[in-house]
């Protein structure tokens, strides 16, 4: 039972049907406290649908989602964020006319219950500013904090994408392909930042980049055709014949370049 009490996020028997198509079929997934859990699978396996179910963008046809012991299946997306589950997006979803500093100050203020305050200036609270400083530092954004987000280099935008999520002080963080499309020169900075995310945050990583997956994850779930094919630690997954078959003979641990966008 110790494993049970250690579970932060639990998806139980999730089913999602779009008309006649079953995109998610009886998926059960448990995320432990401080987890580094990767969700992998070929395109069309239902990874994005699963993320949308977890974050509340979609309502499951069947099944339950439990966050820290409470059933959140019926909650709206922004309510789930307030309970500590935050996601990033595969395609950057940023606030283009705000600067990184304004963006983070806005997010931190909102998260600390100041979002409804209209008589205070955005930069008036020292504790909010201090947190923004930390985040800018942590995500290598201090040098560009005063520039409009739309003019930033792609790597910086990718970092801001994750910084926004972390500014919400999540207990569960869903990272949707954090290094997708990042040019080689900016990759290392991003990989280091992802590796250095706070240990007490439980992370579910959705990723095609097998280098990142195998260096990051302590546990992995393989999704195929909307169903969980198998779950295990990286060694088990790497040597699982079924998984190898799914990846069409790619040697999974080494398939760093071929599977990146596959």
Q: Please give the residue ranges that form the binding site for another protein (CB under 8 A).
A: 55, 77-79, 81-82, 86-87, 89, 93-99, 101-103, 105-107, 109-111, 114-123, 126, 129-130, 132-133, 136, 142, 145-146, 164-165, 167-168
| CB 127 to another protein: min, Å | 11
> 98: closest CA among 60, 133, 148?
148
Which stretches does DSSP call E strand in the chain? 7-18, 21-32, 36-40, 62-67, 70-71, 85-87, 172-176, 202-206, 219-224, 227-232
Q: Between residues 123 and 262, which has the closer beta carbon with respect to another protein?
A: 123
Q: Between residues 136 and 237, which has the closer beta carbon with respect to another protein?
A: 136
| CB 201 to another protein: min, Å | 16
Angle at CA 258, nearest 5°, toward 156 and 90? 35
| CB 70 to another protein: min, Å | 17
Label the pairing between strands 36-40 and 219-224: parallel
Q: Between residues 1 and 91, which has the closer beta carbon with respect to another protein?
A: 91
Q: Between residues 165 and 210, which has the closer beta carbon with respect to another protein?
A: 165
| CB 240 to another protein: min, Å | 33
Q: Between residues 98 and 180, which has the closer beta carbon with respect to another protein?
A: 98
d(CA 62, CA 82) in angstroms, rounded, equals: 24
Q: 248 vs 116, 128, 255, 258, 262, CA distance in Å?
A: 52, 49, 11, 11, 11
| CB 139 to another protein: min, Å | 14
Q: Between residues 66 and 122, which has the closer beta carbon with respect to another protein?
A: 122
Tell me which H or E stretch contains 184: helix 184-195
d(CA 13, CA 63) in angstroms, rounded, equals: 5
φ, ψ dihedrals at 13, nearest 5°: 60, 45
| CB 195 to another protein: min, Å | 23
| CB 79 to another protein: min, Å | 8
Q: How would you write 16-81 as a 3-class SS string? A: EEECCEEEEEEEEEEEECCCEEEEECCCCCCHHHHHHHHHCCCCCCEEEEEECCEECCCCCHHHHH
Q: Between residues 165 and 182, which has the closer beta carbon with respect to another protein?
A: 165
The CA radius of gyration of the chain, in Å to the nearest whole number, is 19
């Amino acid at each position: 039972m110790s494993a049970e009490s250690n579970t932060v996020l639990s998806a139980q028997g999730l089913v999602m049907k779009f008309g006649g198509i079953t995109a998610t079929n009886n998926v059960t997934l448990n995320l432990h406290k401080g987890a580094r859990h990767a969700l992998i699978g070929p395109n069309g396996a239902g990874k994005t649908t699963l993320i949308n179910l977890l974050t509340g963008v979609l309502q499951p046809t069947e099944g339950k989602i439990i966050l820290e012991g409470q059933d959140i299946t019926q909650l709206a997306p922004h309510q789930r964020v307030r309970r500590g589950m935050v996601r990033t997006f595969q395609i950057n979803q940023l606030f283009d006319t705000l600067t990184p500093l304004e963006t983070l100050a806005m997010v931190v203020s909102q998260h600390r219950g100041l979002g409804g305050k209209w008589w205070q200036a955005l930069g008036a609270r020292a504790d909010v500013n201090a947190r923004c400083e930390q985040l800018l530092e942590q995500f290598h954004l201090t040098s560009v904090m005063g520039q409009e987000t739309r003019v930033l280099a792609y790597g910086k935008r990718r970092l801001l994408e994750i910084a926004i999520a972390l500014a919400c002080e999540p207990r569960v963080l869903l990272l949707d392909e954090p290094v997708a499309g990042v040019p080689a020169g900016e990759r290392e900075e991003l990989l280091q930042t992802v590796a250095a995310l706070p240990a007490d945050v439980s992370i579910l990583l959705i990723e095609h980049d097998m280098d990142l997956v195998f260096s990051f994850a302590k546990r992995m779930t393989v999704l195929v055709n909307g169903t969980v094919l198998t779950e295990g630690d990286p060694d088990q997954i790497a040597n699982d014949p079924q998984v190898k078959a799914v990846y069409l003979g790619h040697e999974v641990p080494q398939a760093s370049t071929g599977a990146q966008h596959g």
